[in-house]
């Protein structure tokens, strides 16, 4: 008896054997078929086939110690240089540790099984299996404190403006050292990719800003400016006839900050909008604990963060970002041509003015 076709069936599970000739695209497309390998395949395909369309503005959030593990150099910088990331929300810690590389300091592979008491006695700092000298912290602190005394920092500014100026100074240090591009801050400034920090006091960068304030430094972070600038980026993408995508590595505060742009537009400002159009999250957090890091894109629909019509274009992959990001980056590089950088940093004031005018008209 002939079987009736079933809509729930996808392609047959019939992978090609893995051999020495297989490339990363073939590996992902043809052998990442089920479970979280299947979700990683779906994420890579969604990113390369839909999110990298010319009319999509891509926001990236960074949580977890990714830059100390070298992912800024191996993945994030190439993504920016290829025009595959348009704006970023990051923990301050990722940007602080990124700066080590830019100013010529070294981090090393280590072991999580070494005694931390011994490491402390030897002046070694550990991030799980990443080791570096305590002096790396002191030299990086000194770099930030000295740089913050420059005239352009003596005012209130958004974290995007702070990171742009700081990135230019890191670039100067890279040039003086004659080294290759190793800093995300440096490359983001060059390509006009604005970087925001959702909790600017919660890192060694914020600690050094606070220390300098005790000596009369005038630098103050404008957190309201950050909220409005990020909302303006998303509104600009939509009002220009394009789409908005979020690529979330981890969860935490940066995840909320990149997603709250839509509730800011819809709920708080009262402007007509439907939510982000594409959503990828790489996380190891469960949804049933009620934490934001594990919250699903379908839950985000109830907040207005994700367009309900866009749910088919959302993927959550439960794995480590240090595994998923290199694979997705390699897949995108192999299957999609570079995009023209949007250079959103230079358009911040224009986008913010448009957001403010629409809000004023709504409340006239």
Q: What are the domain boundaries of the chain? A: 40-108+135-362
Per-residue pLDDT of the chain (364 residues; tens, 9 = 90+): 556 666 667 888 999 999 999 999 999 999 999 999 999 999 999 999 999 999 999 999 999 999 999 999 999 999 999 999 999 999 999 999 999 999 999 999 999 999 999 999 999 999 999 999 999 999 999 999 999 999 999 999 999 999 999 999 999 999 999 988 899 999 999 999 999 999 999 999 999 999 999 999 999 999 999 999 999 999 999 999 999 999 999 989 999 999 999 999 999 999 999 999 999 999 987 777 777 677 776 677 777 777 778 788 889 999 999 999 999 999 999 999 999 999 999 999 999 999 999 999 998 7
Neighbours of 62 (CB within 10 A): 31
Distances from the Cα of 148 to the Cα of 176, 200, 300, angstroms = 19, 15, 38
pLDDT for residue 5:
61
Burial of 140 per CB tally in 10 Å (0-12, 13-18, 19+): buried
Are residues 199 and 226 in contact, defined by beta-carbon separation less than 8 angstroms? no
Paired strand residues for 283: 318
Neighbours of 130 (CB within 10 A): 17
pLDDT for residue 38:
96
Catalytic residues: 305
Architecture of domain 40-108+135-362: 3-Layer(aba) Sandwich (3.40)
- Report which of 162, 184, 203 is spatially closest to residue 79, judged by C-alpha positions: 184
Tokens at 39, concatenated: 């979700």
| Residue for token pair 């503005």 | 57
């Amino acid at each position: 008896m002939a079987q009736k076709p079933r809509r729930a069936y996808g392609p047959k599970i019939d992978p090609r054997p893995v051999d020495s000739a297989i490339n990363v695209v073939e590996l992902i497309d043809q052998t990442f078929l089920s479970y979280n390998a299947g979700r990683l395949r779906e994420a890579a395909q969604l990113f390369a086939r839909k999110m990298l369309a010319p009319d999509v503005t891509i926001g990236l959030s960074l949580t977890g110690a990714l830059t100390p593990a070298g992912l800024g150099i191996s993945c994030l910088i190439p993504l920016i240089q290829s025009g595959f990331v348009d704006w970023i929300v990051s923990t301050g810690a990722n940007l602080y540790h990124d700066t080590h590389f830019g100013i010529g300091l070294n981090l090393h592979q280590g072991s999580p099984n070494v005694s931390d008491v011994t490491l402390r006695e030897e002046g070694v700092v550990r991030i799980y299996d990443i080791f570096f000298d305590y002096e790396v912290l002191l030299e990086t602190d000194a770099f930030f404190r000295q740089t913050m005394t420059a005239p352009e920092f003596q005012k209130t500014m958004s974290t995007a403006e702070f990171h742009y100026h700081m990135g230019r100074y890191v670039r100067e240090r890279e040039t003086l050292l004659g080294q290759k591009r190793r800093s995300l801050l440096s490359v983001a400034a060059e390509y006009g990719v604005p970087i925001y920090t959702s909790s600017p006091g919660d890192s060694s960068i914020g600690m050094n800003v606070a220390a300098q304030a005790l000596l009369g430094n005038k630098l103050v972070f404008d957190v309201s400016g950050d909220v409005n600038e990020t909302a303006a980026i998303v509104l600009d993408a939509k009002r220009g006839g394009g789409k908005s995508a979020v690529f979330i590595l981890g969860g935490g505060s940066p995840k909320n900050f990149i997603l709250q742009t839509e509730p800011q537009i819809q709920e708080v400002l009262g402007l007509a909008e439907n939510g982000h159009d594409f959503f990828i999250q790489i996380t190891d957090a469960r949804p049933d604990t009620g934490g934001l890091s594990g919250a699903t894109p379908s839950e985000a629909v109830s907040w207005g963060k994700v367009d309900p019509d866009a749910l088919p274009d959302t993927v959550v992959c439960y794995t480590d970002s240090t595994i998923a990001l290199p694979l997705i980056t390699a897949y995108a590089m192999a299957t999609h041509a570079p995009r023209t950088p949007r250079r959103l940093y230079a358009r911040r004031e224009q986008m913010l003015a448009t957001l403010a005018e629409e809000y004023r008209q709504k409340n006239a």
